[in-house]
Homo-oligomer: A and B are copies of this chain.
Amino acid sequence: MANQYCVGVDLGGTNIKAGLLDADAKVLSKLSLPTEIEAGRERVIQNIIGSAERAIAEAGVKREQVVGIGIGSPGPLSHRQGLIINPGNLTCLQNLPLRDIVTQKTGIKSTVENDANAAAWGEFWAGAGKDVQDLVMFTLGTGVGGGIIVDGKMLRGYFENGAELGHIIVRHGGRACSCGQLGCVEAYSSAHNLARYAEDLIAAGRPSSLKSLMDKGQMLMAEHIVDAAKAGDALAAHVWDEACSCLAATIVIMQHVTNPQRVVLAGGMIAAGNFLLEPIRNHFKKLTWHLLDDFPDIQFATLGNDAGLIGAAGCAWEAHRLNDW
């Protein structure tokens, strides 16, 4: 695999990131360009392919040295069929056979993967999980995403919607989630929803220093909750603690299902640092069983915003290794 390379493409609603990586996850080039959703399906496809071509060109390697292109995309999608199905914020790409289009137009074998899965693969391949074979990753951002590696392999599931960890139910009859369920961990622990939870409690009359922001018409953000909780606001502390408790409950569930060695936490919310990690670890200890000490260690991701790009390239490397495009 010396002198061979794979492209990773991280397709987002605003930007497309692309880069060229070698088999040791070394990044030889990296760039970002606008997705241009508003310009429609054909333009977005052109931009995906253009980003890959530029990543190759900027790295200065020969085209024949590039053995694969991996694309991480918002789901739902079918990795097996290479098909983008119905991505929430990229509706212009509905039912798009992206893998075959990219393969055909570039002449390079391609693969597509759910973006949360790709990011988990990135941390497994080159980040916080590179020394383990069994991990579970939670991406804590606007929503709660997930990815699962079992015995060094991506877990996708029969319908290819596995590892939708944000929709694990942790509070029976609890808060309504946008997915239609009640009590999903995403309804309590995502950056977006924990702020909504605080707003709901304040609107219902619970006292909080955050009310003044709401009275000014400002939408609460996760950062507001963190700052207020640190400053001693009881309501903010409750909302934050509940977010951490729900995540810990989800980790206990994953302990008993895929029984990972490591749990990796990623996404914008990990900027909260130990203010997030310590309560999650403490709630986990309180919630888990006493029968066995099969406790995963709980760590932060290390690849930051590059996890998607790196993981997408890693997925291409894995497809190359298995010759399974």
Contacts and interface: CB of A to CB of B under 8 A. Distances in A.
Interface of A: 76, 132-134, 148, 150-151, 155-165, 167-172, 177, 179-182, 249, 252-254, 256-261, 287-292, 294, 296
Nearest to A181: B289
A243 B226 CA distance: 38
Majority secondary structure of chain A interface residues (helix, strand, loop or mixed):
loop
Contact of A181 (B134, B157, B182, B288): B288
A158 B261 contact: yes
B288 A257 contact: no
A133 B157 CA distance: 10
A131 B164 CA distance: 25
B257 A254 contact: yes
A165 B252 CA distance: 11
Given A157-B259, A163-B259, 20 more contacts: A76-B292, A156-B259, A157-B258, A158-B296, A159-B261, A161-B256, A161-B292, A162-B256, A162-B257, A162-B258, A164-B256, A168-B253, A168-B256, A168-B257, A169-B252, A170-B172, A172-B249, A181-B287, A182-B287, A254-B257
Nearest to A162: B259
Contacts of A151: 156
A257 B148 contact: yes
Contacts of A249: 169, 172
B165 A257 contact: yes
A230 to B, nearest CB: 25
Contacts of A168: 253, 256-257
A158 B132 CA distance: 9
A157 B134 contact: yes
A81 to B, nearest CB: 15
15 contacts: A132-B158, A159-B261, A159-B292, A161-B294, A162-B257, A162-B258, A165-B256, A167-B289, A168-B253, A168-B256, A171-B172, A172-B172, A179-B290, A180-B290, A181-B289
Contacts of A258: 155, 157, 162, 257-258
A140 B172 CA distance: 21
A211 B256 CA distance: 36
A118 to B, nearest CB: 17
A238 B155 CA distance: 37
